[in-house]
């Protein structure tokens, strides 16, 4: 008998469409991502009445456990990582839908056990034969797991059933590997079945870029090279590599952040208006921007990119080690922990407007933001006043940790003389719309369940992102850095990053909170 009892009534009314009945399969369920993000996100969807009552989760991991033992572990983990108050009745409803399969991802028998489990789950929870598979595994398993699913008939869509795969980053480690992975997956699945996830797109402010630009008549008319001087995108982290030194040293800041997170922010900030919010209409315009970014020559890599590696220093009053002293990192590592890049987009809207990107670890503040700096107003009116310079207006999209938007403009200071001061008008989501329990994955998981791929990358977008950074990777490999480490922990990166803007009369906007 299918268990289709209703969820306990939530405190808040539902806003949005209920997800389709389905089962979610998590490969690598024992990892941090599941307990920190995925389970809390699914619970939040249930509390918002956006999760179907005909839903189940099947976790696959190498740790020998029964389903009951796994449920106990999930419950203990959830007490630690829940994003808000826990409703005991709702959690009890939810935990009864969690199942576990022990197996090796390379063993065909694992897929046989999964198929049997899904058949039983489908019968017990009435999931309507709809399954989606989440790759919370090491990247080297992505292609082989999808092939294993296909070989056992688990990617086949018939009788109105759907099958989808969510693939975490990194999707490849360069252009060639990204193309090879796309080819491997698309031999056994269609593009509409593949959801390449970027959790940054689950942030409210990232999604609000489209609303800000296209729902407000005051912004879109000035969103172009005639009014905008330049755009900055910063992804700053205060942490070092922590326990991920072994993985990080094979990737580095460029691979880890630029082809995915930062390229998505660029494409949403710079894209032309889509004809609708239908997935491919939005992604078509994003792809056009990525293809319009001017490719680097070898000489331009030397003049338009900066790399850095943190040394020891002081963070929050405490000494922290250099990158080369971190666990799992070779003492002579040449891997970059900081990147700054100047890009140009070769189209009618953005010709001549530089896009400055930077990302790094052990910086003074943890924040992600997009700064749109407008051209200065003419000074002629103020030439006989005490005003010595006119400050440019800045529109800042704050993405994390606080989500919001601020606008900087000039206003006259009180008094008889003409003096100007900088004023910031700030909007924060929590102040206007209330604080919501959110991991950043709720929207993305829900979108996959309803078949909306708008916030997921297509194959051509992934490859376009890699094609932009590939020349940089090649030059950096051919010319190893001579001065690593070149910035102490607790500062805003190497001095060359500041010089990248200063030689053109600009400077970074830093946020240290």
Q: Could you give the residue numbers annotated as active site?
A: 261
354: enclosing H helix or E strand: strand 354-360
Q: What is the DSSP letter of 477?
A: H
Q: How far is CA 259 from CA 59, 264, 453, 487, in A?
A: 29, 8, 19, 24
Nearby residues of 314 by Cβ (< 8 Å), 6 or more positions away: 320, 489, 490
- Distance separating alpha carbons of residues 464 and 473, to the nearest angstrom: 15
Q: DSSP labels for 166-210?
A: EEPSP--SSHHHHHHHHHHHHTTS-GGGEEE--GGGGSHHHHHHH
- Extract the tokens encoding 360: 């790094």
Residue 9: Cβ-neighbour burial (10 angstroms; 0-12, 13-18, 19+): exposed
Q: Any residues with CB less than 8 A from the CB of 370 and at least 6 apart, and which? A: 209, 231, 232, 233, 265, 269, 396, 397, 399
User: Tokens representing 126?
Assistant: 């009435």
Q: How many helices and strands in the chain, by DSSP H and E?
A: 16, 18
Contacts of 303 (CB under 8 A, 6+ apart): none
Residue 125 near residue 23 (C-beta atoms within 8 A): yes
**What backbone phi and psi angles, to 5 degrees, belong to 281?**
-65, -45
Both structure tokens of 334: 């040449």
């Amino acid at each position: 008998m299918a268990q289709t009892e209703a969820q306990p009534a939530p405190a808040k009314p539902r806003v949005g469409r209920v997800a389709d009945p389905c089962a979610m399969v998590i490969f690598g369920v024992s990892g941090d991502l599941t307990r920190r993000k995925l389970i809390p996100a699914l619970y939040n969807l249930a509390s918002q009445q956006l999760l179907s009552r005909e839903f189940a989760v099947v976790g696959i991991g190498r740790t020998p456990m029964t389903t009951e033992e796994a449920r106990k572990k999930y419950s203990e983990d959830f007490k630690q990582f829940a994003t808000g108050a826990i409703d005991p009745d709702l959690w009890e409803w939810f935990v009864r839908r969690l199942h576990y399969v022990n197996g090796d991802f390379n063993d065909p028998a694992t897929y046989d056990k999964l198929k049997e489990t899904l058949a039983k789950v489908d019968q017990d929870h009435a999931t309507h034969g709809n399954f989606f598979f989440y790759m919370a595994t090491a990247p080297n398993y992505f292609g082989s797991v999808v092939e294993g699913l296909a070989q056992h008939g688990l990617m086949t869509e018939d009788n109105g059933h759907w099958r989808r795969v969510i693939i975490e980053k990194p999707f490849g480690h360069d252009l060639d590997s990204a193309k090879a992975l796309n080819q491997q997956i698309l031999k056994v699945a269609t593009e509409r079945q593949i959801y390449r996830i970027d959790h940054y797109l689950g942030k409210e402010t990232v999604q609000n870029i489209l609303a800000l630009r296209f729902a407000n008549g005051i912004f879109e008319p000035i969103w172009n090279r005639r009014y905008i001087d330049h755009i900055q995108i910063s992804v700053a982290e205060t942490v070092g590599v922590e326990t991920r030194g072994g993985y990080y040293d094979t990737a580095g800041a460029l691979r880890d952040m630029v082809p995915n997170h930062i390229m998505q922010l660029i494409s949403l900030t710079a894209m032309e208006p889509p004809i609708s919010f239908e997935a491919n209409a939005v992604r078509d315009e994003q792809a056009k921007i990525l293809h319009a970014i001017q490719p680097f020559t070898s000489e331009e890599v030397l003049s338009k990119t900066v790399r850095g590696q943190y040394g020891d220093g002081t963070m929050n009053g405490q000494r922290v080690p250099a990158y080369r002293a971190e666990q799992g990192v070779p003492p002579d590592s040449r891997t970059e922990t900081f990147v700054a890049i100047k890009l140009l987009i070769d189209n009618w809207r953005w010709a001549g407007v530089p896009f400055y990107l930077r990302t790094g670890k052990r910086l003074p503040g943890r924040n992600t933001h997009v700064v749109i700096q407008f051209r200065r107003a003419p000074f002629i009116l103020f030439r006989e006043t005490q005003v010595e310079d006119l400050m440019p207006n800045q529109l800042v999209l704050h993405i994390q940790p606080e989500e919001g938007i601020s606008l900087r403009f000039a206003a006259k200071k009180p008094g008889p003389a003409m003096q100007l001061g900088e004023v910031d008008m700030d909007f924060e989501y929590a102040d206007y719309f209330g604080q919501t329990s959110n991991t950043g994955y709720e929207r993305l998981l829900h979108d996959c369940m309803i078949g909306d791929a708008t916030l997921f990358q297509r194959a051509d977008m992934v490859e376009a992102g890699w094609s932009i950074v590939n020349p940089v990777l090649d030059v950096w490999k051919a010319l190893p850095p001579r001065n690593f480490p070149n910035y102490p922990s607790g500062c805003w990166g190497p001095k060359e990053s500041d010089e990248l803007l200063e030689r053109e009369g600009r400077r970074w906007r830093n946020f240290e909170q």
